[in-house]
A and B are shown apart, each in its own frame.
Chain A
Amino acid sequence: MSEQLIIFILAAFIGYFVVRGVTPALYSPLMSVSNAISGIVVLGAIGMTGFAENIFVMVCGLIAVFLASVNMFGGFAVSVRMLEMFKSKRKKQ
C-alpha cells in the first residue's frame, strides 16, 4: 500500500509535467486520449470476472468490462478522428 502510494504520487508528478507540455490547441484530443487510457480499469474488471467465485461478483466484473471498454475504445476512436483533422492541412499548405 505505501509503495503504491509512492508510485501514485510520482506518477501524478509525471502527469503534471507531461500535460503541462501539451499545446493548448490539442486540449480536446488530450481529454479524449486520457479518457481512453483511464479505460485501463478494464484490467481490473477482466481480473475480477476471471477469478470470481460468486455469480454476483462475476456479473459486476462483466458489467465493468463492458463499461470500461466503451470508455476505452470510444476514447481512442474519437482521438484518432480528431487528430486526423489536425493532420490533413499540413499537406495542403
Chain B
Amino acid sequence: MNELISLPSAILFILSIRGLNSPRSARFGNLLGIIGMILAIAAVFVFIPFPRLPVIISAMAAGGIIGIISGQKVRMTALPQMIAAFNGLGGLAAVFLAAGETIAGGTGYFTSSIGLVIGALAFSGSMVAFAKLQGILPGRALLFPFQHVLNLLLATVVLILFAGFVFYREEWMFWYLTAASLLLGLLLVLPVGGADMPVVISVLNACSGWAAAGIGFMLGQTLLVITGAIVGAGGMILALVMTKAMNSSLWQILLGGAAKNAKSAAPGRETGNARSGSPEDAAFIMENAQSVIIVPGYGMAAARAQHALKEMSVLLRQKYRVRVRFAIHPVAGRMPGHMNVLLAEADIPYEEIFEMDEINRDFAETDVAYVIGANDITNPLAETDPSSPIYGMPVLNVSAAKTVFFVKRSLASGYSGIDNPLFYRENTVMLYGDAKEVTEAVVRELEK
C-alpha cells in the first residue's frame, strides 16, 4: 500500500522535468513537482507516531525557511554556488541517514555504504566547489605534488573500507569510510579550475541523486530509488553535454584538469597590433548595420553588464531597425544554462537568444559581432591549431562577421592561458574597459 502512494509522486516528478521542454510549460511543470513533493510528505506523515510530529515539523520548517530565504536572496550570478551548496546539504543528509541506520544496527551494510560514500563525496566536493565559486578559495586549479597518486591511494582505501564494512560489519570501519570519502571528495574537486565548473556542478548534482537512491535501497523506499535514479541520470547527461562542448572528457576534468593548464601554449605567438576603438565607433558601426550578434561570456555577468546590454539591444532594434540576436556557447557561465538565466533576468526575450548550433552559420551573414566578456569560446585556434590546448573545442564562429568588437579589460588571454589571434585581425576592434561601462557608453551614443 505504501508503495502505491509513491506512484503519483514519481509521475509528477517526471512530468516536472518534462515541463522544462519549453519555457512555456516549465512553470506548470515546477508546480507539479511541488505537488508531488507535498503528496509524498503527507503520505509519510500519516504513519509517524503522533508525539514525534512536532519536532519533525519544526526541523522541516527551520530548513525550509533557510532554504526559501537563501533561494529568494541569491543573486543570479551567484546561482552556481547556491546550487552547489544545496547539493552538498542533500549529500550530507544522506550521510546522516546512513550513520543513523548504522547506529540503529541496520542490516543493509552494502546499501547504506553506497548512500554514505556517494553522499559524502557530494557533500565535501560541493563545499569545495562552493568555496571556489564564492571566492573563498582561489578559482584556478589548485595543484599539489603527487596529486594523482594520492587520489588513487585514497580511492583504494575507500574501496577497501567499503568491502571491509560490508563483509566484517565492524562499526569503526563505517566511521573511517565516512572520513575517507569526505577527504576524497575534497581532493577530487580542489584541482578543478573555474571554467570546468559547469561539469563539476553537474556531476555533483548527479551524486546527490545517486546518494538519494542509495538511501532508498537502504530503507526500502521505492520513491527515493526512482527519484534518485532520475536525478542521477539527468546530472550525468548535463555533465556529458558540457564536456562535449569543451572537447574534454569527465576523466580529463576530474583527473587531469591540472595537466591541461600546464601545457598551455607560449603567449605572443601571434604578433601584430590590436586595433582599439572607442564606444562612439562601435555605436556608429552598429547603428548602420543590418544584423548584430551579441556574444556574452562570464566576464559580462561578472561586470553585471546585462542590463546595459539589454538597453543596447532594444535601442538598436527599435531606433535603428537592426536585427539583434544573442549567441550563447554551451559553457558560457559557471553552470549549464547560466547565461540564459542571466539574460532572462535582464528581461531579454528568449526568442532572441540562440544556442551555438542554431546560430553559428549566421555569423558569415552578419555585420557586427559584439563579444563581451568572452574569449576562449571564440578562439579560432580551437579549429586550426592542433597544438592548442583547446583544439577541437567547438567555438562560436565570430571571425566570420564583417566587424568584430571585443569588449575586454586588456589583451590578456582567457582562462586556458592562450592567445586569441582574433584580436590582431584587420576587422577586429578592441573596446578596452569594463564591460558595463563600455556598453553604457555605447548606449549613450546610440541615444543621441
Which residues of A pack against B, CB within 8 Å? 1, 4, 7-9, 11-16, 18-54, 56-57, 60-90, 92-93
Contacts and interface: CB of A to CB of B under 8 A. Distances in A.
Describe A's contact surface by its main secondary structure.
Answer: helix
Contact of B234 (A15, A24, A42, A69): A15
Contacts of A25: 23, 337, 340, 350, 353, 355
Contact of B215 (A8, A41, A50): A41
Nearest to B71: A77
Interface string B321-351: 0000000001000011110110011011111
Nearest to A88: B347
Contact of B67 (A38, A49, A53, A69): A69
Interface centre among A16, A37, A53, A74 (most CB of B within 10 A): A37
Interface string B30-71: 100110110011001101110010011001111111111011
8 contacts: A14-B229, A37-B13, A40-B223, A45-B97, A60-B100, A61-B100, A62-B55, A64-B97
Contacts of A8: 213, 217, 225-226, 228-229
A93 B314 CA distance: 12
Interface residues of B, number: 110
Nearest to A49: B56
A89 B332 CA distance: 22
A79 B20 CA distance: 11
B14 interface: yes
Describe B's contact surface by its main secondary structure.
Answer: helix
Contacts of B40: 40, 43
A81 B208 contact: no
B36 to A, nearest CB: 7
B123 to A, nearest CB: 9
B337 A68 contact: no
Nearest to A93: B349
B30 A7 contact: no
A78 B79 contact: yes
B100 to A, nearest CB: 3
Contacts of B70: 70, 74, 77
B71 A71 contact: no
Contacts of A64: 93-94, 96-97, 100
Contact of B221 (A43, A73, A82): A43
A4 B114 CA distance: 15
Contacts of A52: 100, 104
Given A31-B202, A49-B56, 20 more contacts: A15-B233, A23-B21, A23-B22, A24-B330, A24-B336, A26-B23, A27-B335, A28-B341, A31-B337, A33-B20, A42-B41, A43-B224, A47-B47, A60-B97, A69-B59, A72-B37, A73-B63, A78-B83, A83-B30, A90-B24
B27 A87 contact: yes
A92 B314 CA distance: 12
Interface stretch (B84-92, B184-192, B248-256, B403-411): B84-92
Interface centre among B63, B201, B338, B351 (most CB of A within 10 A): B63
A89 B72 contact: no
B44 A31 contact: no
B229 A81 contact: no
Contact of A41 (B27, B48, B94, B235): B94
B222 A7 contact: yes
Interface centre among A15, A46, A72 (most CB of B within 10 A): A15
Contact of B216 (A4, A24, A46): A4
Given A31-B201, A50-B56, A81-B71, A70 B86 contact: yes
Contacts of B37: 36-37, 39-40, 72, 76
Contacts of B212: 38, 40-41
Contacts of A1: 111, 217
Nearest to B242: A27
A36 B224 CA distance: 13
A9 B92 CA distance: 24
B88 to A, nearest CB: 9
B137 interface: no
Contacts of A45: 93, 96-97
B18 interface: yes
